[in-house]
Chains A and B, each alone.
Chain A
């Protein structure tokens, strides 16, 4: 249905690129250094193919691609020296720091930014300016073991499920060998419930609200599974993370992202599982968390180099056939950042994973503002203490919120 549109877009992009780089191609050419972190072999090959396609389409531009297994440390050393690549990936958690360090060029050149999911753009926006182009993203959803539900005679979860439904199901599913819910002691899991319940880190007046009644209620709900034995931490289920506990059949439900699709299907081919949206909060609220990465251009790239860099970024993330569409068609764990290709991605991976895509429309990127590192650490601590049943959710959140308040006072 989109073929004519796709074709014209491709032609337009090509025309644009050719007109932009006609001059560059005529000369000796430019060399772009492009750095990114290493992920699965399939994704690394995909990035290499994208770059090769770009080079083929732009004879005047050479690309030196570095896929680093220790990206964080390597790019930081490059930043420190001041001699860093023209194009590189930025994770949502690094963005506030790197942006304030002046490492990133502003993203006026990003093609058709209106097609990119709002939540992803928010993650890479500072002072109302979008800096870099989201590459792809993941959201959290509720994974459930269909066989376990059927064996226990519990109706399968739906997108209309509430917290109460989830708690009741967890109780019914808990047996000697399996708990209802695998609940990692990770704030980037329970905060999906936090946002769903209407809680925020800062309220509308900008006051710290991390310990609001809604926040406490969310953490109490998440902790209740461990407290009443209908759930457990993955470590106590003989597993390194939620996905493993769920795959092994040690837990009938868990909250994880779309990265779990490939892992579960490869490692546990016999697992009969489904996925639905995170259950509705008592007030009917809905939320999930999103995790994303973008391709950014160095603030030090100027002139021809900057043009070439943006051309590459648009080539890899734009609406063209080699950009977001290719991400969708590759059909691996991550989803394309542009909404119009969500269907393509689902066709590739399977319609049963629709909940991950649905979540994108209301997903929140959990980001702690710059200067709040201590609060970040304190909220991790609070999560651990609550999930190991050493502290009460209200006290733990109050302690963490006090740290945020102290920082806020200092910053003012």
Chain B
């Protein structure tokens, strides 16, 4: 905000301090001036980020339907942990919640490593001096990222429909191919793999039917369904470009003298990549993985477009569950949706902390 009072405020504060300022006083007035400068930003953050979070937290402990006017007496009651209990601990919806958690985990584990590795490889390639038409490739790789994800999702829906181009292409190469219903097949890849060895639920000991967190063990090892895998492919395709650009700028920031020095020492191309490029890219990797983790845990729009009645069980993500609980179906409930959203926040928070520990953002930044 262009507040004319701001620029003059800090000097005034300093000037107002008596000449014989102690160190403590100086520090205090510095802090005051600092606060004054970050104040507007903090206010915006508080109103649009922290306040809604606190409000969501508060409502997650109520039974507010989301439609009863809040100025009405008895608009809601405090119900303690009832919503959490219903969805996360041992209530009637735990299976829906953990199914969404499972789908989201498959999605995160499938998408983040692939998109990070692919982005690094692509960035390394388009950064080569010998490559012709560099800007063409850079644009081509980045293009999916700047296209609306809704539009891209619809294109995928068309490409992967059972009579669509992908199936037609495979059939042209292999006439015996039985078309796969890419966008509607609920079969898990894990189950599919096991069935190749003749293993299905009924051939295993009844132990596999043990329920853990609302789902049978057999369902936990299902693996992403064919439909979810298609959505994952879409996610990799759209986000790799962005990650590539981030890697590319980091690559160009590495001084050529480091490489020249290693050449003098007789390092091969691979050794240069392994012992120079990769370590120097560590802060970038941390950044890319963090972005990837948060983005994939929150996946919503692709799921919104690509799922249907048939695939809902194997494609619903936690973020989508929040939305559908709040706004869809015959009895939406905002309090319950808030509870799920808070848990999603905690999951992302913990995942980022863990990742920080393993990728070591701190050390690398230092």
- Chain A residues in the interface with B (C-beta under 8 A): 72-73, 76, 79-82, 84, 93-94, 96-98, 101-103, 184-186, 233, 235-238, 240, 367-368, 370, 372-374, 376-378, 380-381, 383-385, 387-388, 390, 403, 406
From known contacts A76-B327, A185-B310, A374-B92, infer whether A101 and B70 are also in contact, taking CB-CB under 8 Å.
no
Chain A residues with CB below 8 A from B67, complex form: 76, 79-80, 97-98, 101, 103
Interface centre among B312, B329, B330, B334 (most CB of A within 10 A): B330
Query: Are A387 and B93 neighbours in the complex by a CB distance under 8 Å?
Result: no
Query: Are A82 and B70 neighbours in the complex by a CB distance under 8 Å?
Result: yes
* Cα-based distance from A373 to B72 in the complex (angstroms): 24
Query: Are B327 and A101 neighbours in the complex by a CB distance under 8 Å?
Result: no
- In the assembled complex, 7 residue pairs joining A and B whose CB atoms fall closer than 8 Å, in A order, are A73-B327, A80-B69, A81-B71, A82-B70, A84-B69, A93-B329, A102-B68
- Nearest-CB distance from A184 to chain B (Å)? 7
Query: Are B66 and A233 neighbours in the complex by a CB distance under 8 Å?
Result: no
Question: Is B163 located at the chain interface by the 8 A CB criterion?
Answer: yes
Query: Are B161 and A374 neighbours in the complex by a CB distance under 8 Å?
Result: no
- Nearest-CB distance from B232 to chain A (Å)? 19
* Closest partner residue, chain B, to A403 (CB atom): B92
**Number of A-B residue pairs with CB-CB distance less than 8 Å in the complex they form:** 100
**Partner among A80, A97, A185, A372 whose Cβ is within 8 Å of the Cβ of B70:** A80
- Nearest-CB distance from A134 to chain B (Å)? 18
Chain B residues with CB below 8 A from A81, complex form: 69-71
* Closest partner residue, chain B, to A70 (CB atom): B327
* 6 further contact pairs, Cβ within 8 A, besides A238-B161, A238-B162: A76-B334, A97-B331, A238-B164, A373-B329, A373-B330, A384-B309
Chain A residues with CB below 8 A from B70, complex form: 80-82
Among B130-138, B179-187, B339-347, B355-363, the stretch that binds chain A is: B179-187
Query: Are B163 and A368 neighbours in the complex by a CB distance under 8 Å?
Result: no
- Chain B residues in the interface with A (C-beta under 8 A): 65-72, 92-93, 96, 161-164, 181, 183-184, 186, 308-313, 327, 329-334
From known contacts A376-B330, A387-B310, infer whether A236 and B72 are also in contact, taking CB-CB under 8 Å.
no
**Partner among B68, B308, B332 whose Cβ is within 8 Å of the Cβ of A235:** B308
- Nearest-CB distance from B289 to chain A (Å)? 33
Chain A residues with CB below 8 A from B92, complex form: 374, 378, 403, 406
Chain B residues with CB below 8 A from A372, complex form: 331
Chain B residues with CB below 8 A from A84, complex form: 69
**Partner among B184, B312, B313 whose Cβ is within 8 Å of the Cβ of A233:** B184
* Cα-based distance from A385 to B331 in the complex (angstroms): 22
Query: Are A93 and B72 neighbours in the complex by a CB distance under 8 Å?
Result: no
Q: Which 3 A-B pairs have the closest CB atoms?
A: A82-B69, A235-B184, A373-B331
**Partner among A240, A368, A383 whose Cβ is within 8 Å of the Cβ of B331:** A368
